[in-house]
Amino acid sequence: MKSIFLNLNQKIISNFKIKKLFNLKLYFILYFLVFLASNCGSKVTNVDIIDLSGEDWSISLSDNIEYALPEISHSAWETVNLPDNINSQVKQSNGAVWLRKNFEYNVDNFKGNPSVYLGKIFEKDQVYINGVLIGENGGREVNFGRHRIYPIPHTLLINGENTIAIRIYSTLSGSAGIISEPIAIAPFDYAWEQEWRFANKEFIYVSFFFFIGIFYILNYLKMPDTKEYRSFSIFALTYCVYEFSRNEYRFNVYNNFLFFKFLEYATLFFIPYQFLRFVEEFLKFKKFKYSKLYFLLSSSFVLLFAVVQKPQFWYAFVGYWDFQLPVTLGYTIYLTIIRIREKIIGAYIQGIGLLYIFYAIIKQILIERGIANIESSLETSVLFYFFLMTIALRLQFLFVKRKIQKRYDQLREADTLRDKIFRHMEMMISKPLKHMHAILAELEISKDQKVKKEKIHEIESIQSTLQPLMDDIIELSRLEVMKEVPFKAAVPFVDFIKEVIPDDSITYSIKVESDTIIENSLELINSIVIRLIDFPSIQDFTHNDLIVTQDLRGNIHFRFLLFHSNPKVAVKVYNDLQNNISLEDTNSIKWQIIKQIARLLEGKLELKIIKRKYLRIDLGLTAIQAPASELTPIKESKTNLKQPKHPKSEWRDELKTIYTNFRSKLSKKK
């Protein structure tokens, strides 16, 4: 199984290397598209334009065709500011309103063929220059929400004062008039150049979304478990269709405004759902409880639009349905905040993008309703979000790669540990086994029964020494694999340690505050203290003392002070322990066990020679001062007839059992 995993890991790593060049190409293309988009928005300078926007537009709420004539005075009319939403004035009218303004024109100063260049108009328009109709509805029966470019015949404009009159008619709920800039007399070529420049910029965005969608759907086909890739690609492709259905290039594909307006609204219904699905799968949340209902509801609206083919109805319906966009986005922000609290990096990146989109959507709704005359930032915010999420998904991919690499390292570590264990076993057991093999060979040759009995007794003696050695090797292997202690318990330290230290093995004194609490693995603390007391090299010393002290931080120290009449013995043991002892020495395994236990207990094990006579072994463990309330016994009330349970008896009984078993094992080893 492990070999299969290792082979799979090698294949994945090789695939990462193969894809590296492709990923570099991907990022180059994305940055190139953004570069093009940013440069396509640059403005042409040194062009003569007569700006007609401002607060001096005259408005009449009555519908009279004579208002197109320049000789009709509009000086007594009310004035409005354009661009602006004049829906309130249209509602007060009898169906249409007239907008008029005078402007100065000088043929010598104006270069190029003149045209009327207008921003988004809702819903229908008729434009007159000096009483002559030059264009209506952008050349289409239904064409609301688009810019207008109407060429002006040279014979219409005169040097000096000219009159422009615009008849606005709108049945749309909430929008009427010229909503956005420009409102100007501009050269015809310049106007179309600006329109196509803007269309090119938007088309680059469309290409970017399309490329992202295709890229992640291909990645999903290679890695079906990455559902967030699938949802992100569908979201990107849906948004790509939405943007294309609003781009001027759409008429080069199919010259039908009604079809693309339907496609725009249809995708607009599905974008929030696809966006919600992506966020849920990216942040690893379960599907929203009413997700299917949300999808069916959006689908039913699309079917309704297909049956009722009235763009005015579509516009009004979408206007009321806009309320669900901030709700959906707000829910995704809520999900993101949950993951941010869990300190997930992808959630932080997601949160930045969502906040920008939330701001852009609110602003876009205000613009579409004509409430605010500000520049839209919806495309920019979505582009920014897609960039952020591309980074987030790539980071997620790298995290998966890191996990695989970590698992691979763990397997290699397990192999190293296994080799170390086998090396321990070979070093420790090979000699006794060779000795036993030699004795068995002598047994086969020898005919003396007395010698055979001695040899058999010798084999049994060697075998009895191998069992505790194997136990130590297994224990060392277990401890080396452990990353942390399996179970921690908090007990009063003084009571606990009195139960641990055997009275007949070592002289000791405890200088620790009575309210000190030790919170760690009681089994391992018991094990390391007993192992230190019974360590063979320590047993060789003529005088052993254990002082249990407490430092200023409250931490516990087990300080073994060992004395030998021969100072060279103390120095030799110190050097052996510092150098981890030769692997051929059985004490090495025992000392390695002590060091591993100290590691798991997060303790500090130090050795020091004092005056070249004494060897000090210091084991430091973290402890805490218990509040007085925890140490004060609870008095039994007179009304309570039940005797309270004594918690100390439980751990003491358990500790005695552990201690008895441990001492019996050590005695068998000896």
DSSP secondary structure, 133-153, as one string:
EEEEGGGSSS-TTS-EEEE--
pLDDT at 581: 54
The arithmetic mean of pLDDT across residues 604-610, rounded, is 90
pLDDT tens-digit map of 252-266:
899 999 999 999 999
Where in 137-268 does DSSP place strands (E)? 148-151, 160-169, 177-178, 183-187
pLDDT at 382: 87
Distance CA 546, CA 551 (A): 16
Contact between residue 257 and residue 140 where contact means Cβ atoms under 8 Å apart: yes
Tokens (6 digits) for 547? 């002082």
* Window from 188-197, 334-343, 495-504, 643-652 with minimum mean pLDDT: 643-652
User: 633 phi and psi, to 5 degrees?
Assistant: -65, 145
The arithmetic mean of pLDDT across residues 329-339, rounded, is 92
**In the predicted model, is pLDDT for residue 637 greater than 50?**
no
Distance CA 191, CA 117 (A): 6
The arithmetic mean of pLDDT across residues 452-481, rounded, is 78
pTM for this entry: 0.61
Tokens (6 digits) for 508? 């000791």
Distance CA 126, CA 95 (A): 14
For CA atoms 357, 358, 363, 364, give the dihedral sign.
positive
pLDDT at 652: 55
Nearest to residue 137, comparing CAs of 129, 248, 127?
Answer: 127
Contact between residue 116 and residue 135 where contact means Cβ atoms under 8 Å apart: yes
The arithmetic mean of pLDDT across residues 510-532, rounded, is 89
Please report, in angstroms and rounded to a whole number, the separation of the first and last CA atoms in the chain. 41
pLDDT tens-digit map of 97-121:
999 999 999 988 888 899 999 999 9
pLDDT at 654: 56
- Do the bridges between strand 507-510 and strand 543-550 make them parallel or antiparallel, or are there none, so unpaired? parallel
pLDDT at 275: 93
Give residue 589's identity as a one-letter amino acid code. I
pLDDT tens-digit map of 211-254:
999 999 999 998 888 899 999 999 999 999 999 999 999 998 99
Distance CA 443, CA 389 (A): 78
**In the predicted model, is pLDDT for residue 41 greater than 60?**
no
Contact between residue 235 and residue 282 where contact means Cβ atoms under 8 Å apart: no
**In the predicted model, is pLDDT for residue 363 greater than 80?**
yes
SS3 175: coil
pLDDT band at 150 (very low <50, low <70, confident <90, very high): very high
The arithmetic mean of pLDDT across residues 631-654, rounded, is 42
Pick 420 or 493 by higher pLDDT: 493
Nearest to residue 115, comparing CAs of 139, 87, 141?
Answer: 139
Entry field: residues in the chain: 670
pLDDT tens-digit map of 372-419:
767 778 878 888 999 899 989 988 888 878 878 877 776 776 677 667
pLDDT at 126: 96
pLDDT at 541: 84
pLDDT at 627: 52
* Whole-Å CA distances, 248 to 44, 200, 273, 312: 20, 9, 27, 21
By the 10 Å C-beta count (0-12 exposed, 13-18 middle, 19+ buried), 532 is classed as buried
* Whole-Å CA distances, 247 to 32, 315, 430: 20, 18, 82
What angle in degrees, to the nearest 10, is found between the helix axes of 378-445 and 2-40? Answer: 160
Contact between residue 130 and residue 153 where contact means Cβ atoms under 8 Å apart: no
Give bridge partners of residue 160 from the DSSP assignment: 105
Instruction: State the chain's mean pLDDT as an integer.
Output: 82
Three-state SS string across 597-641, please? HHHHCCCEEEEEEECCCEEEEEEEECCEECCHHHHCCCCCCCCCC
* Window from 15-19, 157-161, 327-331, 541-545 with minimum mean pLDDT: 15-19
Distance CA 241, CA 250 (A): 10
Contact between residue 470 and residue 497 where contact means Cβ atoms under 8 Å apart: no
**In the predicted model, is pLDDT for residue 11 greater than 60?**
no
* Window from 152-166, 229-243, 616-630 with minimum mean pLDDT: 616-630
**In the predicted model, is pLDDT for residue 208 greater than 60?**
yes
